[in-house]
Structure formats: C-alpha cells, structure tokens
Amino acid sequence: MSAISRETKDKIRREAKNRGGYCLLPQEIVSMDLEIEHLRPIADGGTNDEVNLWLTCRNCNGFKHAKTQAVDSLTNTEILLFNLRTQNWNEHFEFTNDQTKISGKTPCGRAASELRASGQSKKSLGERGMVSADGLKQRDKK
C-alpha cells in the first residue's frame, strides 16, 4: 500500500480546519501533532484513499485504534463508530457545561464517548495536559 501523500495530508488538514475530528481541538492548542486517522482501519480492509482519512489528535486516534464498533451502554447494542467524514458532530456529541469533557447524545455518540473514556483517564482535556486552560477557552466549537 502506498504512503499518504503530503498533498492529501494537507488537503485533509484544510478540510478538518486543522482540528481533531472527535475532540475538535485546534492544532495550535494541542501539545502533540494532529494525526491522519484511517476511518476504516487498514487491518480491516481500509485504504489510504482520501475518503477513508480524517484528522484526529493522538489521544482520540489511540482510543479508536482498529475498532469500527463499540457498545452503547444505554441500549446495550453494538454500534458503528462515529464517521468523521459523513456524520455531523453536533448531532452526536456535546460538551459538558464547563466545556472540558465530551458526552454522547445518540447511541453512536455514546458508544464513541464511552470507548474514548475507557481508553483514557476520566480527566478533562486540560487535566490530561493536552491543552492549557487558556487553550480550552480559545477552542472553536463549530
């Protein structure tokens, strides 16, 4: 399989507005470089085609790893994970009142949020050292 070209990586960064697809944190306030994620993992037959790629932070990319499904604890149903390219973030997720944690609003959002939380500490984005307190205030929530 061929490597992802610089041109494709740059295009995805522009389309993603240079922010992580799950946490919505912009590159300028994240302590690590944002990564190109395979929506359908290579291990599961995914490709390096642009339609299978999106931008995520290292923590969010790590929680997903090669998974494509997770269980929604409310319905106890296995759900396809949120697709960063085809689904609307605001329909499936919301920030807590203090704007430091993400929770799911739909089975898809809850499954992704719960999977993300199970792979990380329960600390907020700022507490994990991903961003500064000032950075959280600057995050674009669109």
Give per-residue pLDDT as tens, 101-114. 889 999 999 999 88
DSSP H helices in 66-132: 89-92, 107-118
Q: pLDDT (tens digit, 9 = 90+) per residue, 52-97?
A: 999 999 888 888 888 899 999 999 999 999 999 999 999 999 988 8
Cα→Cα distances 68→44, 56, 79, Å: 9, 15, 9
Share of the chain above pLDDT 90, in %: 56
Here the tokens at position 59 are 């923590």
Q: Where are the chain's structural domains?
A: 6-138
